[in-house]
Chains A and B, each alone.
Chain A
Amino acid sequence: MRATPAPTAVIVDDERLMREQIAGRLKEAWPELVIVGEAGNGREAVAMVGSLEPDIVFLDINMPEMDGIKAAQALAGRAHLVFVTAYDQYAISAFDHGAIDYLLKPVEPARVALACRRLRERLQQKPAPMDELLEELSQRFGSSGVKPREYMRWVQASVGANLRMIPTSDILFFRAEDKYTRVQTEGFEALIRKPIKELIDELDPKEFWQIHRSTVVRVDAIAQVSRNFSGKQIVHLKGSDEKLEVSRSFNHLFKQM
């Protein structure tokens, strides 16, 4: 379609100074290249590539809204990509085995010249799909893909009139009380609306055990377990005098080895 078209490029970075720097270096290394647009995050970049259809996209990795890896997954096959990154040891090792070129910030003129030479050769071909590499990258960054299940590490609760984030490692136990669930730490208690039934699904089962229909205790906060006169198991805690009853259906948790 394009008659002896001048190659075009879009620069994507969340910092203006970085975009300027890349643009400046490119101008020196490849005067014919036309920078048709600049974007500040991945989402903008995807939209811009859709409307401007550049040949090349220079893409930062760490960006707000949508990071460079996700943007690359959306852009793969539509433009030749070059990643620009400050320091990403995982990414660099992945690039070294892959088809995508990369530049390190602050970008050096000699390195930009090399990247431009490679791009000029590759412009004749269609952009590679490189799904595999991007999948690997996204896993290394943990930005998407299959991740180990994430459990609740903080509980948002009202303490007096204030809302607080309480780390789960500070919590001794949760206990259902009327409409609320009480969150007890060594120093204070707080109330949340989430019922025990829902909590137990979100808490790490290695960190918290349910010992009663209305009680969930942090395993590391247990000082000892005793039996009362009627044979019920009673959990004693570190850092609190409160004693928690273990209901029969959870007795197996504390069975003697």
Chain B
Amino acid sequence: MSTDQPNPGAASAAPGSPPPLQPPGIKQTFRDGWRVIVELWWRFFDWLAVVSWKTLLVVYLLCLILAAMLHRPMTFFFFVIVSVIIKVVAGGKRRAELTARQATQRAEDEQLERRVLEARLQALQAQIEPHFLFNTLGSIDQLIQTDPPRASKMQQSLIRYLRSAMPQMREGARPTLGQQIDLCRAFLDIMAVRMEERLQTVINVPEGLKSAVFPSMMLQTLVENAIKHGLEPRATGGQITITAEIAGGQLTVHVLDNGVGFMPKGNEGVGLANIRERLKALYSGRAELIIGVPAAGGTCATIKVPYEIAPVTA
């Protein structure tokens, strides 16, 4: 008791000893001090809100020792009671606020990350194969001489295909299944002229599903794969069937071919991996790509996405 009594006295005497420095303003010093105290108080408050009871207990123990040394049992009990009340009453709310803020931040980061990723992947998916382009132009060139009306039709298919397959043409509104089917139809029309009897196409998609949202270029990749890896390697070719249905609230689109079937070792390029990545980025786990092996041979690729009607644009 007697040991700590002189201290406050010394402290109060100290400001008095250098009087010339005082004019800058007691008020200013006071205000700064107050600000620091408020700041410290909120820090303490935050700390109290998130600290575990176990840690708090250890702190109380240390305080108890300190209080015993200083012979201030009342101060100690006051501190304990006040802090417990604060922690119980305000702590929960404060903690919820902090976690909510962190969660929001994280969600925003993730969403941004996902959007950037999707944009990058979409650009990759959009590549038009030069091989396809030159071969098609060659066929059109030949048809101009032998069958001009067919040449004109084929050229129109090519224009339709390019229009929707060019990345810069695909910005803006969300793509629909109908648009993606039209793109595939243009592509398949071209391939049918080139491959002749080696390619048969069946597209069986209910009219009502054409307004459903469906990511761009994925169907196209599946159709291209079916031709390139399924039908083209076979001298006799085969058939491609595109169907769509709603199953369990999901829009399910199948691309079936009766070609040579899937090669477990073949690294068939980035197409399928890209679809998987994009589905993850767009739907985070609520969509999937399944490669099935039909009993009759060939390959059946299926994309499932949440069923969603595209907003009508004026």
Contacts and interface: CB of A to CB of B under 8 A. Distances in A.
Contacts of A155: 264
A64 B141 CA distance: 23
Interface string A153-165: 1111000001111
Contacts of B130: 86-87
B233 A65 contact: yes
A150 interface: yes
Interface stretch (A73-81, A103-111, A128-136, A245-253): A103-111
A202 to B, nearest CB: 8
B146 interface: yes
A44 B236 CA distance: 13
A15 interface: yes
B292 A15 contact: no
Interface string A172-194: 00000000000000010000000
Contact of B137 (A24, A64, A106, A152): A106
B139 A17 contact: yes
A65 B272 contact: no
B264 A154 contact: yes
A8 interface: no
B262 A105 contact: no
By size class, the interface of chain B is: 35 or more
Contacts of B137: 106
Interface in B274-314: 276, 288, 290-295, 299
A214 interface: no
Chain A CB count within 10 A is highest, among B130, B135, B195, B288, for: B135
A164 B290 contact: yes
B142 A150 contact: no
Contact of A65 (B235, B290, B295): B235
A17 B232 contact: no
Contacts of B142: 17-18, 20-21, 24, 106
A20 B139 CA distance: 9
Contact of A163 (B131, B193, B292): B292
Contacts of B196: 15-16
B134 interface: yes
Contact of A153 (B146, B194, B267): B267
Interface in B123-143: 130-131, 133-135, 137-139, 141-143
Given A17-B138, A105-B138, A167-B272, A150 B131 contact: no
Nearest to B195: A15
Interface of B: 130-131, 133-135, 137-139, 141-143, 145-146, 193-196, 232-235, 262-267, 272-273, 276, 288, 290-295, 299
Interface of A: 14-18, 20-21, 24, 40-41, 43-44, 62, 64-65, 86-88, 104-107, 150-156, 162-167, 169, 187
7 contacts: A64-B233, A65-B234, A87-B133, A87-B134, A153-B266, A163-B292, A163-B293
The 8 A-B residue pairs whose C-beta atoms are closest, nearest first, are A106-B138, A165-B291, A163-B293, A86-B134, A21-B142, A87-B130, A105-B138, A106-B141
